[in-house]
Amino acid sequence: MTEAQLKDLLTQMTTEEKVGQLLQLATPFFKGASDRGEITGPMENMNINEEDIKHTGSVLGASGARETINIQKTHLEENRLGIPLLFMSDIIHGFKTIFPVPLAIGCSWDIELAEKSAAVAAKEAAASGVHVTFAPMVDLSRDPRWGRVMESTGEDPHLNSQFARAFVRGFQGDLDNDAHKVASCVKHFAAYGAPEGGRDYNTVDMSEWMLRENYLPAYKAALEEGCEMVMTAFNILNGIPATGNESLMRGILREEWGFDGVLISDWGAVKELIPHGVAEDQKQAAELALKAGVDIEMMTSCYTNHVQELIEEGSLEESTLDEGVLRILQLKNKLGLFDNPHRFASEEDEKKYILSPEHRRASRELAAKSIVLLKNEDVLPLNAEKKVALVGPFASNTDILGPWSWGGSAEDTVTVETGLNQQLKDLAVAKGTDLRDGNEEDLKAALQTAEQADVVVVALGEHSDWSGEAGCLADIRLPEVQLDLLKKMKQLGKPVVAVLFNGRPLDLREVTEHADAVVEAWYPGTEGGNAVADILLGKVNPSAKLSMSMPYSVGQVPVYYNSYSTGRPKDAPDAQERYVSQYLDIPNEPLFPFGYGLSYSQFEYGELQLSADRMTKEDTLTVTVDVTNVSDIPGEEVVQLYVRDNVGQVVRPTKELKDFRKVALQPGHTETVTFQITEPQLRYYHANMEHTSDPGEFTVFVGTNSQDVKAKRFRLE
């Protein structure tokens, strides 16, 4: 349809039909549905009728070619103007071929493979009739108590922005020309990752300076990459719930950034303006959200039941309703739904693409590149000829897909046991304990199994319900029974390798104390067992680096690398004994810092070379460093470039990631790694919110993680 035809269609619509386009309902409401689809929020009495359902604009949580074709066909038989439904679902890190959780993908620092993972997810989802995915989630996360850190790519605005762009490219590509793509929807706007206490949905309160410097960049990057939709966040931001926050939505998102796409509420977030205490009733909630520019109300019916009345009484302009409806019609048109309402839905293509060997290979490759080697005292890689005992609650556990794993299933998942069995001659397995409860019999069996082995692999972790939405924990250590199993294995006097399956950074002090090697596998997805085996046997040399700090203890939280010096930094040359910024009982530094990850290779960094010790705003400063693989094992190293603005108008982080390079190095080989620094990379938000740079002294750092770096100074003229 042309723009004129869309606008003509809008004029033919009754107010009721227009309001219907603003409603999104979950699958069970639709006649053509044969199952409940994915229910991802509270279901309650919506007070809607058959007519409302006929006018509905979009479906939440449906998938399957046959299912979506049936729902669409039934709907179009009843929708007076033949306006097709949009099918939207949470395809976050895979459709049925599940990839590692985004936090793990963040640790891969592999932008290309991240994009590929989204393209695979889009292909499977599009063949199953999905039109829009509620991804990428780009909420910057500094608090591992929050369950949804697993859904983010971590604590750094630059790295998160790179991944946001990659996911949008992978999911969405060029919708006008590329087949098997889905529209992406960046979420949750804004700053959902900063709830007080790490408790989901809790209060978010921060300065505009902190919001713009750290929390907004990744949403903006997704939109610059062409992301079609935005989803509102549940939380308040500086006193006003995001979903009714006009200055955030119309001010920043639409006017300042020029976003004119569809803005959807999160599940029930329009009606939640009432418990938030900014709306007296559903009518006021509808008015606030629509005036804030929220086009689609997900799974509540404030708009359905009150917009017409608000217009008739003059509280709401019909033009406000029309602009939202037109954006939804434009998105349907862009997806080609007026020409082909079933788009790429095809049972034949489902059989061809879903869980194909190619897709499994892609998942296995990215999983191996997302697994972080945290400790290795000459235990890894394992010798395939050795007798290995695999113990722990994750030894044969299929719960390694993580939250938001859409159509992923246990029968499709490769466990650690299966993965190791395929690569080892002699593997014995014993659970040893459940996740939170153990018994003497299981423990005894595990000890007996381990006593026969040369090396013990202990697979520990969190149930996937312990993270994800509303999955928050105040205690981020592993359960005692699991730590106890590890200690008892270590007491046998054999090499012990701990492999972790978890959705958040944990307090790993006891794990690192009682294991000779520690491998952080996060939730590695459908091919997780094979990827873990590839790493443990050295088929893949680990190259992942933490994209979120691993705290020393929960008492440090929030702990992040790009923090500020304070007026009494503990590491100042003239630091006093007592009166400095410190804890009396623990260090300031995390157990493992942002950017940290070991390899089976050893890399040595030469001295930093700068093309000059000063630059003008027009110049490019070239930074070079030689990196040598001094081991006899080929490997990949993520070389990281950080910058510090030594004096700013507002305080500046002690380090900020500005660039990185993943280099593959053969044994004995030296690579001269080059970075370019330009003036735009040195800009920051001043007190007046201008985003500019200042002349002055800077420090550039290059290294293998955010702490272990080489430094040189330069001046911006």
Residues near ligand GLC, by CB under 6 A: 40-41, 60, 90, 134, 187, 266-267, 469
First to last CA, the chain: 54
How do beta strands 297-298 and 387-391 pair? Answer: unpaired
493's torsion region: left (phi>0), alpha (psi -120 to 50) or beta?
A: left
Q: Which residue has the tokens 């998102």?
A: 253
Q: Residue 318: which residues within 8 A CB-CB, separation 6 or more?
A: 15, 311
Question: Which lies closer to ligand GLC via its Cβ, residue 262 or residue 591?
Answer: 262
Q: Residue 444: which residues within 8 A CB-CB, separation 6 or more?
A: none
For residue 40, which phi and psi values (nearest 5 degrees)? -120, 25
CB 331 within 8 A of CB 228: yes
Burial class of residue 710 (count of CB atoms within 10 Å of its CB; 0-12, 13-18, 19+): middle
CB 20 within 8 A of CB 52: yes
Provide, rounded to whole angstroms, the least separation between the CB of residue 465 and ligand GLC: 15
The full length of the chain comes to 717
Provide, rounded to whole angstroms, the least separation between the CB of residue 302 and ligand GLC: 17
Closest CA to 465 of 435, 430, 493: 435
Distance of alpha carbon 56 from alpha carbon 29, whole angstroms: 10
Provide, rounded to whole angstroms, the least separation between the CB of residue 299 and ligand GLC: 8
Q: Which residue has the tokens 């569809």?
A: 262
Provide, rounded to whole angstroms, the least separation between the CB of residue 96 and ligand GLC: 17
Nearest-Å Rg of the Cα atoms of the chain is: 26
Closest CA to 549 of 94, 40, 103, 93: 103
461's torsion region: left (phi>0), alpha (psi -120 to 50) or beta?
A: left
Question: Which lies closer to ligand GLC via its Cβ, residue 136 or residue 542?
Answer: 136
Which amino acid is located at 279 in the chain?
A
Provide, rounded to whole angstroms, the least separation between the CB of residue 416 and ligand GLC: 29
Which amino acid is located at 209 in the chain?
W
How do beta strands 609-610 and 620-629 pair? Answer: antiparallel
Provide, rounded to whole angstroms, the least separation between the CB of residue 266 and ligand GLC: 5
474-496 burial, b at 16+ Cβ within 10 Å, e below that, comes to eebbbbebbbbbbebbbeeebbb
Provide, rounded to whole angstroms, the least separation between the CB of residue 137 and ligand GLC: 6
Question: Which lies closer to ligand GLC via its Cβ, residue 60 or residue 279?
Answer: 60
Sign of CA dihedral 208, 262, 131, 333: negative
Question: Which lies closer to ligand GLC via its Cβ, residue 26 or residue 508?
Answer: 26
- In sequence order, the β-bridge partners of residue 132 are 88, 183
Which amino acid is located at 663 in the chain?
V
Sign of CA dihedral 214, 216, 221, 224: negative
Provide, rounded to whole angstroms, the least separation between the CB of residue 422 and ligand GLC: 36
Question: Which lies closer to ligand GLC via its Cβ, residue 39 or residue 575?
Answer: 39
Provide, rounded to whole angstroms, the least separation between the CB of residue 41 and ligand GLC: 4
What is the CB neighbour count within 10 angstroms for residue 223? 21
Question: Which lies closer to ligand GLC via its Cβ, residue 237 or residue 390?
Answer: 237
Provide, rounded to whole angstroms, the least separation between the CB of residue 424 and ligand GLC: 39
Furthest C-alpha separation in the chain: 80
Question: Which lies closer to ligand GLC via its Cβ, residue 60 or residue 673?
Answer: 60
- Which tokens go with 534? 């590839």
The rounded Cα 356 to chain-centroid distance in angstroms is: 24
Question: Which lies closer to ligand GLC via its Cβ, residue 219 or residue 685?
Answer: 219
- Positions annotated as catalytic residues are 266
Question: Which lies closer to ligand GLC via its Cβ, residue 442 or residue 469?
Answer: 469
Question: Which lies closer to ligand GLC via its Cβ, residue 106 or residue 597?
Answer: 106
- Which tokens go with 264? 């959807």
Distance of alpha carbon 73 from alpha carbon 50, whole angstroms: 16
- In sequence order, the β-bridge partners of residue 664 are 636
Distance of alpha carbon 79 from alpha carbon 53, whole angstroms: 9
What is the CB neighbour count within 10 angstroms for residue 410? 11
- Which tokens go with 585? 């009982």
Distance of alpha carbon 185 from alpha carbon 201, whole angstroms: 20
Question: Which lies closer to ligand GLC via its Cβ, residue 90 or residue 442?
Answer: 90
Provide, rounded to whole angstroms, the least separation between the CB of residue 90 and ligand GLC: 5
Question: Which lies closer to ligand GLC via its Cβ, residue 95 or residue 267?
Answer: 267
Starting at the edge strand that comes first in sequence, how are the strands of the sheet with 635-645 ordered? 614-615, 709-716, 696-703, 635-645, 656-665
Provide, rounded to whole angstroms, the least separation between the CB of residue 40 and ligand GLC: 3
Distance of alpha carbon 101 from alpha carbon 370, whole angstroms: 9
Question: Which lies closer to ligand GLC via its Cβ, residue 134 or residue 592?
Answer: 134
Provide, rounded to whole angstroms, the least separation between the CB of residue 231 and ligand GLC: 6
- Which tokens go with 637? 């190293």
Distance of alpha carbon 418 from alpha carbon 424, whole angstroms: 10
Q: Which helix (H) or strand (E) holds 390?
A: strand 387-391
